[in-house]
Structure 1
Amino acid sequence: MASSFSRRFGYQGVPAEITVREDAPEVLREGIVMLADHLGLSPHSARSKVCGILLRRPDPGNWSAYPNVADEVQELVWQAPWYRVYDIAEGFYESLSENDPESGRQFENRLNEFFRENGIGWAMENGLIIARGSEIFAESSKSASMLMASTGRQTAAQEMHEALADLSRRPEADITGAVQHSMAALECVARDVLNQPTKTLGQLVSSLNLPKPLDAGLEKLWGFASEQGRHLREGRTPRFEDAELVVTVASAISVYLMRGASDQ
């Protein structure tokens, strides 16, 4: 398949502001079916995948691919709970990749473009739907995870992985879990850098030699995470954006500490 004009010349719009998280708007429900069909997934294969995900019996009266089975697929996707729509997207990727890995890659790339263009706070990575935040969030968390793993800080890397997984849970993100795990990752890094394996992050802040007033900022972040992630009070449930901020800052500070340690 020849590349499109926008890909040949590198044109892409500014990502739309994220306005959709716990929803699957009509345009997405229509879009994933159209995209899978365009990339060669037959209506019968699509129906098999959708029915398996939704645990619905295929209509035995529908035999012809177009329009009967194709319309059935669209109707099933249209009526599915919002979080199942993302399960279906993963299923379509799987079916396309089994037939032709390149078709799976094209499905993932085009779907991610669609998410960005339509302000949908999800992304597909290696066939799995994960939470998508701001560009700063994406870059900082990715850099932190890679550096933790490459420097042998596997516990910290696992904690950061769990934080990102918590934000990607469906139908509801585990906000408090994301806060807890991201700060645990930062705590692991701080303990390793200072060789203080038993102290908490709150006890280590003053020894990290952070530029002032960033040290005070980290103390406040630790306090916020302790209150919102560990000692919740009624009516004080953190938002997704709060967790995204904590993960972003924890990632950035972790990278700062690890790079500083490597320079010594």
Structure 2
Amino acid sequence: MPSFSKRNNYRSEEQPIMIYESAPNELREFIISAATATGHDAKRVRSAICYVLRKIADSNNWSTQPVLTEAVDLIGSCKWFKVYDIIEQLYSTSDDPTAFADEVNDFFRENGIGYKLEDGQVLFRGTDNFEQTIHEAGDVLGDAGLNTAKSEINEAIKDLSRKPEADITGAVQHALACLECTAREAIGGSKDTLGALIKKNRGIIPPPLDVVVDKIWGFSSEQGRHLSEGGEPSFEEAELLVGLSASISTYLARKL
């Protein structure tokens, strides 16, 4: 049965995202509570955790409380990224995966954790504005028949979501590829690079925004395609570039 807050559409205030590449103890213990509240019994929870961690369950623990205690100990001592693998495994074995995902995502939002559980995968989550930008880009690019560009922006998000470390270079490259594909279609199928496209077709994006695209190309070329030692952009820079590429691609796709 839905809780009082869910029945009446009350939600706790979403906290600013502060946690990436970490799994606080509160999350580790909550995951077990969420799993048992949405259909898993204690042994199924332990089984999922043991599967992910490649552990053998303690045969001396067979009643509910000792099994749950064992599960808490296992998830409490594993590497941070294994916690998110466990979340995915519990989703895949849940009797009510939608309810489990709702519980997990509520916890992420209320505790400033920069991930989301979507279609069984734990993915990178940005701010509400970022999320809206990415979803809108996917819809608009798909409606325009720009499936390659849509695939590229989706791949950029997957790269930001990779564990134990985000693939920053891959995210930058895929974001640039999305923008490049869309710009090519916007001016009639040119094979030029994004930088050349903007120089030859200044009217494709109104000034001074055309300068932004030019700078994106320059940044991506330097940081994403021609990395020097220690020259990889930060996670925040990659997130910004992915968001900008998605926004500009949406603008161009709507002009087709």
The one-letter code sitting in structure 2 at the alignment partner of 1:75 is D
Indicate whether 1:227 and 2:226 are aligned: no
Written as runs of structure 1 = structure 2, the 5 A alignment for 1:9-158 is 9-65=8-64, 67-96=65-94, 99=95, 103-158=96-151
Residue 172 (structure 2) aligns with: 179
Q: Distance in 1 between matches of 2:204 and 2:158?
A: 31
Q: Find the residue that maps to 2:117 and give its secondary structure.
A: strand
Note if contact 1:16-1:117 (Cα within 8 Å) is conserved in structure 2. Answer: yes
Note if contact 1:137-1:247 (Cα within 8 Å) is conserved in structure 2. Answer: no
Q: Distance in 1 between matches of 2:33 and 2:46?
A: 13
Q: Per-residue CA shift, 1:165-193, capped at 9, x if unaligned?
A: 10111111101100110110110011011
Shift of 1:11: 1.8
Shift of 1:215: 0.6
Shift of 1:150: 2.3
Shift of 1:27: 0.5
Unaligned runs of 5+ in 1: none
Q: Per-residue CA shift, 1:116-164, capped at 9, x if unaligned?
A: 1101000011121100011121111111122222222121112112111
Q: Find the residue that maps to 1:33 and give its secondary structure.
A: helix
| Correspondent of 2:249 among 249, 254, 263 | 254
The one-letter code sitting in structure 1 at the alignment partner of 2:118 is E
Shift of 1:203: 0.8
How well do the aligned residues superpose, as a CA RMSD in angstroms?
A: 1.2
The one-letter code sitting in structure 1 at the alignment partner of 2:62 is W
Q: Distance in 2 between matches of 1:178 and 1:185?
A: 11
Q: Per-residue CA shift, 1:31-84, capped at 9, x if unaligned?
A: 10111112221111111111111100111211112x111111111100111001
Indicate whether 1:195 and 2:194 are aligned: no
Equivalenced residue count is 254
Following superposition, which runs of at least 4 residues in structure 1 exceed 4 angstroms of deviation? none
Written as runs of structure 1 = structure 2, the 5 A alignment for 1:203-218 is 203-206=196-199, 207=201, 208-218=203-213
Note if contact 1:46-1:73 (Cα within 8 Å) is conserved in structure 2. Answer: yes
Q: Distance in 1 between matches of 2:134 and 2:18?
A: 21
The one-letter code sitting in structure 2 at the alignment partner of 1:165 is K
Note if contact 2:14-2:110 (Cα within 8 Å) is conserved in structure 1. Answer: yes
Q: Identity percentage over the alignment?
A: 43
